[in-house]
Amino acid sequence: MPAAKLDEKLTEQLLREGKSQNDVVRAHEERGIAIHQSTISAAIRDGRVKVKSKYAPTRKAIPWKLLPEHRHHSAARMLRIQSRYEEGLPLSPSLERQRSNWIGGLLIENAVIHYDERTGFWRVARREGIDKGWVREPWIDDDGEYIPHPA
């Protein structure tokens, strides 16, 4: 089978129907197109295939642009899992246990997650009236004033 370009419309259609990425690979193979699952993942990540991924973080969950070396850190992973929980999406019993323990720790410490590009993720004290979610509000200072940031 010759290698060919990903059929992005077919991919979007199948993924919206609830098919897996491996199902999409098989559908391409039936049409004589050789692709890999990683091709589909890259197309979703790059925005060429527009589908809601259950793994894509919402800006609310992770408001920072993470460096590649920090994307798979446990804090980033737990924020994505918590976002799924808050959206009412299903979690495996194992992920639910991890999420519950992690959130419990943040509540006991009265902490939120802060991100610094140079050093990664940190648990920091919640600023009452400012930090309302699970992350330190990145564009608000300790006095509750808006911090302008580059677009």
Q: How many domains does the chain have?
A: 1
96-114 per-position pLDDT tens digit? 999 999 999 999 999 999 9
pLDDT value of residue 129: 87
Tell me whether residue 27 is in a domain. Answer: yes
Tell me which H or E stretch contains 65.
Answer: none
- Asked if the structure places residue 1 within a domain, the reply is no
State the Cα–Cα distance between residues 105 and 108, nearest whole angstrom. 5
Q: Is residue 12 part of a domain?
A: yes
Q: What pLDDT band is residue 150 in, cutting at 50, 70 and 90? A: low
Establish if 34 belongs to a structural domain: yes
Higher pLDDT, 4 or 36: 36
**42 falls within a domain:** yes
Range of the domain at 25: 8-46
Most confident region among 41-45, 48-52, 133-137, 141-145 by mean pLDDT? 133-137
User: Is residue 146 pLDDT above 90, yes or no?
Assistant: no
pLDDT tens-digit profile of 63-97?
888 999 998 999 999 999 999 899 888 888 999 99
Burial class (CB in 10 A: 0-12, 13-18, 19+), 14: buried
Helix (H) or strand (E) holding 113: strand 111-116
Tokens of 49: 């295939």
pTM: 0.62
Within-domain flag for 3: no
The answer as to whether 26 is a domain residue is yes
Does 23 map to a domain?
yes
Query: Cα 47–51–55 angle (5° rounding)?
Result: 90
The per-residue pLDDT for range 28-72, each reduced to its tens digit, is 999 999 999 989 888 887 778 887 655 555 556 888 889 999 989
Report pLDDT for 46: 77
Question: Residue 1: what pLDDT?
Answer: 46
Q: Please state, in angstroms and rounded to a whole number, the distance separating the CA atoms of residues 42 and 38.
A: 6
